[in-house]
Amino acid sequence: MLNFSFSLGVGTSSLLICIVNLIYTFIQKRTDKLQNRLFIVLLCILMLNSATSIISAVFCTPPYSDYNIANFAVQGSRYLYFITHTALCPVFFYYVSNVNFMTTRLANRKMFLISIPFFITELMALSNPLTHFIWRIDENYEFHREWGEFLIYIAALFYYVLSFIVVARSWNVISKKRRTALVFFFIMAAVGVVAQLVNKYFKVEVLAEAIGFTGVMMSVENEDDRIDIGMGFYNRTALNLDIESCLKHGRKLHILMIRIQNYDLVNRLVGNGEENTVADIISGYLRSIVKRYYIYVPEKNTFVMTIYEKNDEEVYALAESVAKRFEEPWDYREYSIQLTATVIVADVPKQISNTAELFYMVESPVSAKTKKNLLKGDDLNFIMRRQAVEAAISRGFAEGSYEVYYQPTYHINGKLHGAEALIRMHDKELGNLYPDEFIPIAEQSGLIDDIDEFVLDEVCRFLKTGIPQKYGIDNINVNLSVLQCMRPGFVESIDRIVDRYSIDRKKINFEITESIAADDYDTLSWVIKILKKEGFLFSMDDYGTGYSNVSAVFSLNLDVVKIDKSLLWGAEKSKLGMVILENTIRMIQEMNKKILVEGVETESQIELLRKLKVDYLQGFYFSKPIPKDLFIKHIYMGSTFNKN
């Protein structure tokens, strides 16, 4: 039989482990969350259990066992052990539930029913001096287990199994580190309980649990992997896992998102480029709204707050106060700073039913048409629309949703010159989608390369038929995403598609936009140089809408400059507009570039452009963008333009 010195050693070891864990917890300053407080309660329970083991071991051995106080000390320690240890598994269940964002409010009927075994067994432990349901000590001071102790073990097993089920249900939405720590505790607790059940003198249950909680403290209570160190709030990974857990366990909440629109400007002006400047400015205010552990930074310019246990009206009122606060300047060091912010409120799970939708909200640009600084309710439809469009883009190739349209271009003398290839999309669910909507989304989602290659492939296939050449088309313009041409292997992919159809490269004219081209002239100039050497032509699209350096634009060795329709239409509205158009055309001509003017819709515009001696025309006066079959009929009817 094991002697009492063994129990004394085990109890002392358990107590020291718990004390070290408790000290470390306070040093880490992780004591404000309910999860943290429950962990501290668990440590305190084990400390008391360890202390009772020490007391029992001391007063059950000579010479202390001969004192009259020994019996009182032993019985008192037994009593304290049972009323505290009975609560260990239930409290651990509440702890695991909080870690996994499962509500533990007793107002919840399900949680109230789950708590009934805890209340019953705890009442039995408290009343044991009168009832002796759990244990008793006979006249020879021998300890005897009673039927109530087995009931306590059954209740403990109930909460142990429930805790395991909570972890199992959350297996895919908690980090590997947390899973490992919790499983480690389950194993240690099971080993300790079984060992002590087999031999009541082999009192290692508390020690095993203390060791298990050390792993929990190191991996669950330590949240370094969840914190954005620079910002001081939870990071994107934490937001994803926490919302996944809430959705998994049916926990309802609201998301209140603050997107700082002038984030980069503020950092440059007052923060010397430091990423945490805006967080320093507003962190105190955010913490006055919710606790720090409900604040996340999924993107550098975006702060997300999770709000629990409040209805729509309460959250909307809070959001309105936040939006109003951002209308006022912020004091920071010696500066008075105006932060431009958009506040977005969404209900989980009514409006946000999964984390993919959440991060659509985080990442989606707010529509330029929106003038509000607070978006809620139906204002969030743009997020759902964006998600639906991206899904349509992804399935578009498999379902044959894409089609290339052609819009003819003409020489100023009326002879057919060429055409511009334009992508259109006919989705089975969303109907007809236009490039203005789906191209920006395709660029952001990384699907633009596939679309650009599809258009080029269709154009080459059309040229291979010989029909365009038969009716006098010099070349077909293909819009080119500069994002695509910046990626490695771009030139090779272009050559591969064109070589597949053995197409004369001079029949393809790549169009790039002025505003995008300004981003990286050196790389773009290198790509254009290689492709022009192979025979391809290049145009600058939408000239007059961007803010690029003029000399840099024309250093790209372009063949044609396409003047945006806004310059033509502006020339008809005012004298200043006419001056701008005339001088723009004159400047391009002096640089020996061909000129195509877009947006031609009237005969008077044609006469104006004839006087200004531009080279090519394009617009609805001649034809809208039309499918290939209609385009063939259009050019078949005549090689010179006439009003449709």
Q: Is the dihedral of CA 238, 239, 242, 244 positive or negative?
A: negative
Torsion of CA 626, 630, 635, 638, to 10 degrees: -120
CA angle 342, 346, 348 (to 5 degrees): 150
* Cis before 129 (ω within 30): no
Contact 523, 530 (CB under 8 A): no
Predicted local confidence at residue 644, as pLDDT: 44
Predicted local confidence at residue 643, as pLDDT: 47
The rounded distance, in Å, linking the Cα atoms of 533 and 385 is: 43
* Cα of 438 vs its chain's centroid, Å: 20
Contacts of residue 404, defined as CB under 8 A and 6 or more positions apart, other chains included, come to 421, 422, 423, 424, 454, 455, 458, 459, 462, 628
Give the pLDDT mean for 462-472. Answer: 92
- Whose tokens are 């912010």? That residue is 341
Longest dimension (CA), the chain: 122
Contact 577, 571 (CB under 8 A): yes
Give the pLDDT mean for 149-178. Answer: 87
Contact 405, 421 (CB under 8 A): yes
Residue 160 has pLDDT above 70, yes or no: yes
Q: Is the dihedral of CA 558, 562, 564, 567 positive or negative?
A: positive
Continuous segment of H or E residues that includes residue 44: helix 34-59
Continuous segment of H or E residues that includes residue 181: helix 176-198
Tell me which amino acid residue 642 is: N
Contacts of residue 361, defined as CB under 8 A and 6 or more positions apart, other chains included, come to 255, 257, 344, 346, 352, 380, 383
Continuous segment of H or E residues that includes residue 103: none
Predicted local confidence at residue 274, as pLDDT: 63
Instruction: Identify the band that residue 208 occupies on the pLDDT scale cut at 50, 70 and 90.
Output: confident
Q: What is the DSSP letter of 29?
A: T
Instruction: Identify the band that residue 591 occupies on the pLDDT scale cut at 50, 70 and 90.
Output: confident
Instruction: Identify the band that residue 290 occupies on the pLDDT scale cut at 50, 70 and 90.
Output: very high
Give the Å distances, CA to CA, from 7 to 15, 51, 221, 265, 398.
12, 11, 29, 66, 70
Predicted local confidence at residue 8, as pLDDT: 79
The rounded distance, in Å, linking the Cα atoms of 59 and 9 is: 14
* Cα of 357 vs its chain's centroid, Å: 9
String of DSSP letters for 594-639 = EEEE----SHHHHHHHHHTT-SEE-STTT---EEHHHHHHHHHS-S
More confident residue, 1 or 426: 426
Q: Is the dihedral of CA 97, 103, 106, 109 positive or negative?
A: negative
φ and ψ of 605, to 5 deg: -65, -40
Residue 438 has pLDDT above 90, yes or no: no
Contacts of residue 214, defined as CB under 8 A and 6 or more positions apart, other chains included, come to 17, 21
More confident residue, 94 or 185: 94
Residue 431 has pLDDT above 80, yes or no: yes
The rounded distance, in Å, linking the Cα atoms of 257 and 75 is: 57
Give the Å distances, CA to CA, from 92 to 156, 166, 171, 622.
10, 11, 17, 76
Contact 543, 532 (CB under 8 A): no
Q: What is the DSSP letter of 366?
A: P
Instruction: Identify the band that residue 550 occupies on the pLDDT scale cut at 50, 70 and 90.
Output: low
Instruction: Identify the band that residue 324 occupies on the pLDDT scale cut at 50, 70 and 90.
Output: very high
Structure tokens at 328: 């006022």
Predicted local confidence at residue 426, as pLDDT: 93
Q: How many residues does the chain have?
A: 644
Predicted local confidence at residue 320, as pLDDT: 94
Instruction: Identify the band that residue 1 occupies on the pLDDT scale cut at 50, 70 and 90.
Output: very low
More confident residue, 434 or 345: 345
Rg (the chain; Cα; Å): 37
What does pLDDT average to over the chain? 85
Per residue in 220-264, pLDDT tens?
888 888 888 878 899 999 999 999 999 988 889 999 999 998 888
Residue 518 has pLDDT above 50, yes or no: no
- Nearest by Cα to 442 from 394, 494, 388: 394
Contact 428, 465 (CB under 8 A): no
Predicted local confidence at residue 28, as pLDDT: 83
Per residue in 91-113, pLDDT tens?
999 999 988 888 777 677 888 89
pLDDT cut 70: percent of the chain above it: 90
- Whose tokens are 């949680």? That residue is 111
Residue 289 has pLDDT above 90, yes or no: yes
Residue 60 has pLDDT above 70, yes or no: no
